[in-house]
C-alpha cells in the first residue's frame, strides 16, 4: 500500500449557524488531528439584518418564515456556529476579513498548510491563495457538478423535481464551483423531502467525502475527472415568483 504522509489542512468557512456546523462536527470528529485551524471569513455580501429578513421573507411561506426565524434566534442565543464546533474538537479558530490579503497568506505559510478546504466560504479564492498550499485548495458543493453550480443547489434540484442530487468534492479555480472533481456521491431525494433536510443530509455526506479526500491526498492517490464548463448550469437566489411556483408544486422549505 502507498505510504501515508499526514497533511496539515485548514478550513475556511462562514459564520452560519445551521448546516455548516453539521459538516464541521462530522469532519472534525474524523480528522481534527489534520486540521490546524478553522478560519471564519467575513461575508462581503452581508446586507444587514433588515435586508436579509426582506430577502428571505420574499421567498418563504409564512410558517417557514416563522420557524426559520425562531431557529435562527435560538441558534444565535446558544452561540451555534463553526467557532463553537471547532473549539469543541480542540481546533483553533480565527476570524479573517480578507482571505486573499497578504497577511492572511503569510499566516497560512507560517502554519505550513498543505491543503485548504472551502466549506461554504463567502469569498472567492484568488490565484495566489489557490497556488499556496502544495496539495491545492478543495471545495465541497451539494450538487452533481458540473450541473447546479451557484447558490442554493438543494433548492434548485427540488424545484426542478430531480429524483436525486449529489455531493461533489473538487479542486478549485477562480471560477465558481469549477475545477477537477475528486469525489462525487449521489444523494437520493425521497418524496416529500424538504430543502432544509436535504441540505442537512448533503452536509453529512460532504463531511464523509472530505475525510475520504484527505485520505486520498495523503496517500498520493487522488485521481480526478473533468468538471466540464460547457456542461455547467448556474443558479442564483430564487425570485419570489420561483418560490411561489416551488410551493405551488408541493415544494417545502422546512
Tell me the per-residue pLDDT of 182-197, one tens digit each, with 9 for 90 and over.
999 999 999 999 999 9
| Residue 7, C-beta contacts closer than 8 angstroms, at least 6 positions apart | 34, 114, 115, 135, 214, 217, 218
Mean pLDDT lowest for which of 49-58, 206-215, 223-232? 49-58
> What separation in angstroms does the CA of 172 have from each of 93, 125, 146?
23, 8, 13
8 A C-beta contact, residue 225 and residue 40? no
Mean pLDDT of 247-252: 95
Mean pLDDT of 127-148: 98
Q: What are the phi and psi torsion angles at 158 (to 5°)?
A: -70, -40
- pLDDT at residue 11 tops 70: yes
- pLDDT at residue 19 tops 70: yes
| CA-wise closest residue to 221 among 1, 10, 35, 36 | 1
User: Where in the chain are the domains?
Assistant: 9-248
- pLDDT at residue 235 tops 80: yes
Mean pLDDT of 209-227: 96
Count the neighbouring beta carbons within 10 Å of the beta carbon of residue 133. Answer: 21
pLDDT in the model for residue 37: 98
Mean pLDDT of 82-102: 98
When pLDDT is cut at 50, 70 and 90, the band that residue 2 belongs to is: low
When pLDDT is cut at 50, 70 and 90, the band that residue 50 belongs to is: confident
8 A C-beta contact, residue 83 and residue 37? no
Of 163 and 63, the one with more pLDDT? 163
The whole model's pTM is what? 0.95
Mean pLDDT of 77-95: 94
Rounded Cα gap, residues 181 and 227, in angstroms: 6
- pLDDT at residue 75 tops 90: no
pLDDT in the model for residue 73: 79
When pLDDT is cut at 50, 70 and 90, the band that residue 101 belongs to is: very high
Rounded Cα gap, residues 161 and 163, in angstroms: 6
When pLDDT is cut at 50, 70 and 90, the band that residue 250 belongs to is: very high
- pLDDT at residue 1 tops 60: no
- pLDDT at residue 221 tops 90: no
When pLDDT is cut at 50, 70 and 90, the band that residue 77 belongs to is: confident
Mean pLDDT of 86-101: 98
Task: Say which CATH class 9-248 falls into.
Answer: alpha beta
Amino acid at each position: 500500500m502507498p505510504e501515508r504522509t499526514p497533511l496539515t489542512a485548514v478550513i475556511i468557512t462562514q459564520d452560519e449557524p445551521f448546516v455548516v456546523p453539521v459538516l464541521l462536527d462530522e469532519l472534525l470528529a474524523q480528522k481534527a488531528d489534520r486540521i490546524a485551524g478553522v478560519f471564519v471569513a467575513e461575508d462581503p455580501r452581508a446586507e444587514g439584518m433588515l435586508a436579509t429578513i426582506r430577502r428571505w421573507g420574499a421567498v418563504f411561506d409564512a410558517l417557514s418564515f416563522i420557524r426559520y426565524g425562531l431557529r435562527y434566534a435560538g441558534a444565535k442565543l446558544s452561540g451555534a456556529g463553526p467557532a463553537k464546533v471547532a473549539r469543541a474538537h480542540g481546533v483553533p479558530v480565527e476570524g479573517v476579513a480578507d482571505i486573499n490579503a497578504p497577511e492572511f497568506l503569510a499566516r497560512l505559510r507560517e502554519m505550513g498548510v498543505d491543503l485548504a478546504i472551502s466549506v461554504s466560504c463567502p469569498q472567492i479564492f484568488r490565484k495566489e491563495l489557490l497556488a499556496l498550499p502544495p496539495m491545492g485548495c478543495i471545495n465541497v458543493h451539494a450538487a452533481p457538478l458540473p450541473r447546479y453550480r451557484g447558490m442554493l443547489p438543494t433548492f434548485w434540484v427540488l424545484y426542478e423535481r430531480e429524483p436525486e442530487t449529489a455531493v461533489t468534492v473538487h479542486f478549485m479555480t477562480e471560477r465558481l464551483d469549477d475545477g477537477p472533481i475528486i469525489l462525487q456521491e449521489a444523494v437520493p431525494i425521497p418524496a416529500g423531502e424538504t430543502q432544509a433536510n436535504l441540505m442537512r443530509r448533503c452536509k453529512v455526506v460532504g463531511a464523509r467525502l472530505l475525510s475520504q479526500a484527505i485520505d486520498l491526498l495523503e496517500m498520493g492517490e487522488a485521481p480526478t475527472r473533468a468538471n466540464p464548463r460547457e456542461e455547467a448550469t448556474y443558479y442564483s437566489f430564487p425570485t419570489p415568483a420561483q418560490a411561489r411556483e416551488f410551493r405551488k408544486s408541493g415544494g417545502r422549505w422546512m
